[in-house]
Amino acid sequence: MLIEQNVPLPPPSTSTNGGRIAGRSKWGKIVSQMEVGDSVLVLFKGKLKPSAHTVARQRFVYHGKKLGHSYETRKVDGGIRVWRTA
């Protein structure tokens, strides 16, 4: 995963899709390196499952809570983008 800066946060969407999140192994490392305003694109293999958005958010919240971070997530083409907001 690549940490990016200055990617605008789109408005929330109510639609869902299905699929699996690829590369869930280094969540804690990514979370600890992100600064406020940074974002990460979480890529998917195959079709998206409805819970994929929830799973991505839970991984960032779990690891970020220990550091006092908060996040926003949005579905985008190819996966889910996660922004560190605080």
- Report the pLDDT value the prediction gives residue 85, as an integer from 0 to 100: 93
The whole-angstrom separation of Cα 16 and Cα 18 is 7
Q: How far is CA 86 from CA 19, 27, 49, in A?
A: 28, 17, 28
pLDDT in tens, 12-62: 654 443 433 333 457 888 888 899 999 999 887 766 676 777 888 888 888
- Report the pLDDT value the prediction gives residue 9, as an integer from 0 to 100: 87
The whole-angstrom separation of Cα 45 and Cα 22 is 6
Residue 79 — left, alpha, or beta (φ > 0 → left; ψ -120 to 50 → alpha)?
left
More confident residue, 26 or 85: 85
DSSP-assigned letters across all residues of 27-63: HHHHHHH--TTEEEEEEEEEEEPTTHHHHHHHHHHHH
The whole-angstrom separation of Cα 31 and Cα 67 is 9
